[in-house]
């Protein structure tokens, strides 16, 4: 029997990269998944792939920065699967490296809107349901940069620091309600976002530069994030863990 058998999860940003890896692992373990992503077409394709592999997933076009979409996302999970157990707040926006003074107001606002307001809205929409049933599990994708700030990515880093603090504070706020909240802190990932961190183009030299800074010498794969999210979402494995920041980073933050 799968470790998430009978559970229903929402994975934001589940159409690509780390989110898709989390969707695949959760489906393998028996969860029903709502893939909530800005890219509705890619979310449909990912749901189709899960179905073809024998899993259960459906897709919804969601902009996490819009409150109404978050409300609709929880309603859709409940009406589609009859339950909602796990929220993975994973959708995010990368940043092209630049000096702080070169960051525009628009880029700053977009970073905070998607990376912080999005997670705030995801949680705000999920918590009333979790509180009413006396259980729930929230996994937030922060970043290794929240633990080890880097130059030329300071606004992105600030959003991830904010999200990590949000997850930790929320963990204590909800601890008495049977709701756990934990954060994943991935290092550089083998996902489409990596190109953004390379300045817009994914090159072998750029990848090598990232790899060279990793003690294990390996970029983080979507399935690595899937297995880490599974550990945090599986009460049998991690019922005494809340408010933790789990690095999934090939040793980068050591
Ligand atoms: N890739 C890395 O190196 C890396 C490292 C550390 C942390 N992260 C974090 O991991 C998470 C996933 O990143 P990824 O590498 O898989 O990126 P990705 O670009 O492959 O996937 C991100 C997904 O989020 C969706 N998305 C973006 N804005 C959205 C919005 N407003 N509403 C709903 N969906 C939206 C995109 O459509 C996309 O499907 C992000 O939070 C990112 O900040 C990534």
pLDDT tier at 131, thresholds 50, 70, 90: very high
The backbone torsions φ and ψ at residue 79, rounded to the nearest 5 degrees and listed phi first, read -75, -35
Q: How far apart are CA 201 and CA 181, in angstroms?
A: 34
CA–chain centroid gap for 252, Å, is 19
**Predicted local distance difference test score (pLDDT) of residue 226:** 99
- Please tell me which residue in 18, 120, 130, 156 is annotated as part of the active site: 156
For ligand 1, the distance from its centroid to the CA atom of residue 13, given in whole angstroms, is 6
Domain boundaries, the chain: 8-248
pLDDT tier at 164, thresholds 50, 70, 90: very high
| Closest by Cα among 150, 155, 126, 129 to 140 | 126
**What residue ranges line ligand 1, CB within 6 angstroms?**
12-13, 15-19, 37-39, 42, 62-65, 90-94, 114, 118, 141, 143, 186, 188-189, 191-194, 197
Bridge partners (DSSP) of residue 140 are: 89, 183
For ligand 1, the distance from its centroid to the CA atom of residue 129, given in whole angstroms, is 25
137, containing H or E segment: strand 136-141
Give pLDDT tens digits for 165-187.
Answer: 999 999 999 999 999 999 999 99
Across the range 29-51, mean pLDDT stands at: 98
Give pLDDT tens digits for 86-108.
Answer: 999 999 999 999 999 999 999 99
**Predicted local distance difference test score (pLDDT) of residue 45:** 98
**Predicted local distance difference test score (pLDDT) of residue 250:** 98
Q: What pTM was computed for the model?
A: 0.99
pLDDT tier at 118, thresholds 50, 70, 90: very high
Q: Residue 159 to residues 113, 143, 208, 219: CA-CA distances in angstroms?
A: 9, 10, 26, 22
pLDDT tier at 62, thresholds 50, 70, 90: very high
Across the range 226-243, mean pLDDT stands at: 98
| Closest by Cα among 137, 224, 217, 239 to 183 | 137
Burial 223-254 (b: 16+ CB within 10 A, else e): bbbbebbbbbbbbeebeeebbbbbbbbbebee
CATH class in words for 8-248: alpha beta
86, containing H or E segment: strand 86-89
């Amino acid at each position: 029997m799968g470790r998430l058998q009978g559970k229903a999860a929402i994975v934001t940003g589940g159409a690509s990269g780390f989110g898709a890896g989390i969707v695949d692992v959760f489906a393998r373990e028996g969860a029903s998944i709502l893939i909530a992503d800005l890219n509705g077409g890619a979310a449909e394709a990912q749901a189709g792939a899960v179905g073809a592999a024998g899993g259960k997933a459906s897709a919804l076009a969601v902009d996490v920065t819009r409150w109404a979409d978050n409300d609709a996302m929880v309603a859709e999970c409940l009406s589609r699967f009859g339950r909602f157990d796990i929220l993975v707040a994973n959708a995010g926006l990368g940043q092209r490296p630049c000096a702080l003074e070169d960051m525009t107001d628009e880029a700053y606002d977009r970073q905070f809107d998607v990376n912080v307001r999005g997670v705030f809205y995801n949680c705000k929409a999920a918590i009333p349901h979790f509180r009413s049933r006396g259980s729930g599990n929230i996994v937030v994708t922060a970043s290794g940069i929240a633990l080890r700030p880097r130059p030329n990515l300071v606004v992105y880093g600030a959003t991830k620091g904010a999200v990590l603090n949000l997850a930790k504070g929320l963990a204590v706020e909800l601890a008495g309600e049977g709701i756990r909240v934990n954060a994943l802190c991935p290092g550089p990932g083998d996902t489409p976002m990596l190109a953004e961190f390379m300045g817009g183009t994914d090159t072998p030299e750029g990848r090598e530069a990232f790899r060279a800074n990793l003690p294990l010498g390996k970029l983080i794969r979507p399935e690595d994030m899937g297995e880490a999210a599974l550990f945090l979402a599986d009460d049998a494995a991690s019922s005494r863990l809340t408010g933790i920041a789990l690095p999934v980073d090939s040793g980068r933050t050591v």
